[in-house]
Structure 1
Amino acid sequence: MHTACVECGGVVAPDGHCWECGAVQPRYRAHIELAVKSGAAAVTDRGLRRGINADAMALLDADPWTIGVVCDGVSMSPRPERAAQVAAATASQVLATELEANTLPEAALEKAAARASQAVSALGTPESAPACTYIAGIAGESGIWTSWIGDSRAYWIPAEGPAILLTEDDTGDLDALSNWLGADAPASTPHIRSLHPTTPGTFVLCTDGLWRYLPDAESIRHQIADSPEQTVQALVQHALDCGGHDNITAMVIPWPGRRSAKEKGARTQAMGQTAKA
Structure 2
Amino acid sequence: MPQMTVCPSCAEPLEPEDVFCGACGINLAQSPATPRGGTGDFVLAAPAHLLLDEPSGPPCAQCDGRIAADGYCDTCGAARPNPRDHVERCLEGVAGVSDRGHRHHRNEDSFTVAATSLPDGASAVVAVVCDGVSSATRPDEASQAAADTASESLLTALEAGTDPTRAMHDALLDAARAVDALADGRAPEPGTNSPACTCVSAVAAGGAVTIGWIGDSRAYWIPDDREAAEPYRLTEDDSWAARMVAAGLMEEAEAYADPRAHAITGWLGADAGELDPHTVTFTPHVPGVILVCTDGLWNYAEAATALADAVPADARTEPLSAARDLVQFALAGGGHDNITVAVLPFPPAPGRRPEAPPTPTLVDLPPTV
Task: State TM-score, norm by structure 2.
Answer: 0.64
The partner residue of 2:211 within 141, 146, 151 is: 146
Kindly tell me: are residues 179 and 260 of structure 1, through their superposed partners in 2, closer, same or farther at Cα, counting changes over 3 Å? Answer: farther
Report which stretch shifted further, 133-142 or 119-128: 119-128
Post-superposition offset of 1:24 = 5.6
Post-superposition offset of 1:140 = 1.3
Q: Which runs of structure 1 show a deviation greater than 6 angstroms over 4 or more consecutive aligned residues?
A: none
The partner residue of 1:163 within 214, 218, 231 is: 231
Tell me what 1:250 maps to.
Answer: 341
Paired AA for residue 162 in structure 1: E
Post-superposition offset of 1:37 = 1.6
CA contact (8 A) 2:292 2:343 kept: yes
Query: Aligned partners of 2:80, 2:269: CA distance in 1, in Å?
Result: 26
Post-superposition offset of 1:260 = 8.6
Paired AA for residue 43 in structure 1: V
> Which protein is richer in strand relative to its size?
1
Query: Aligned partners of 1:257, 1:141: CA distance in 2, in Å?
Result: 11
Paired AA for residue 35 in structure 1: C
Query: Aligned partners of 2:351, 2:204: CA distance in 1, in Å?
Result: 10
Which of structures 1 and 2 has the larger relative contact order (alpha carbons within 8 angstroms, sep 6+)?
Answer: 1
Query: Aligned partners of 1:123, 1:170: CA distance in 2, in Å?
Result: 22
The partner residue of 2:180 within 117, 121, 124 is: 121
> Which protein is richer in helix relative to its size?
1
3-state SS of paired residue (1:122): helix
Give the total of aligned pairs: 249
Tell me what 1:51 maps to.
Answer: 105
Kindly tell me: are residues 24 and 115 of structure 1, through their superposed partners in 2, closer, same or farther at Cα, counting changes over 3 Å? Answer: farther
Report which stretch shifted further, 157-166 or 100-109: 157-166
Query: Aligned partners of 1:97, 1:259: CA distance in 2, in Å?
Result: 27
CA contact (8 A) 2:206 2:354 kept: no
Residue-by-residue CA offset, 1:183-224 (whole Å, 9 max, x unaligned): 000232210011111111110000000000012101221122
Residue-by-residue CA offset, 1:133-164 (whole Å, 9 max, x unaligned): 01111001321010000000000112341100
Post-superposition offset of 1:8 = 4.3
Instruction: Point out the structure with max Rg over C-alpha.
Output: 2
Tell me what 2:124 maps to.
Answer: 65
The partner residue of 1:84 within 143, 147, 154 is: 143
Kindly tell me: are residues 97 and 259 of structure 1, through their superposed partners in 2, closer, same or farther at Cα, counting changes over 3 Å? Answer: farther
Paired AA for residue 211 in structure 2: T
Query: Aligned partners of 2:240, 2:353: CA distance in 1, in Å?
Result: 44
CA contact (8 A) 1:113 1:188 kept: no
Tell me what 1:13 maps to.
Answer: none
Post-superposition offset of 1:29 = 1.1
RMSD: 2.4
CA contact (8 A) 1:30 1:52 kept: yes
3-state SS of paired residue (1:86): helix
The partner residue of 1:172 within 237, 240, 247 is: 240
Task: State TM-score, norm by structure 1.
Answer: 0.84
2:156 is aligned with 1:94: no
3-state SS of paired residue (1:258): coil
Tell me what 1:212 maps to.
Answer: 299
CA contact (8 A) 1:150 1:177 kept: yes
CA contact (8 A) 2:347 2:353 kept: no
Post-superposition offset of 1:101 = 0.8
Gaps of 5+ in 2: 1-56, 59-66, 73-77, 118-122, 189-193, 242-259, 356-369
Query: Aligned partners of 2:238, 2:329: CA distance in 1, in Å?
Result: 25
Paired AA for residue 155 in structure 1: Y
Query: Aligned partners of 1:114, 1:122: CA distance in 2, in Å?
Result: 12
Post-superposition offset of 1:25 = 3.6
Post-superposition offset of 1:231 = 1.1
3-state SS of paired residue (2:84): coil
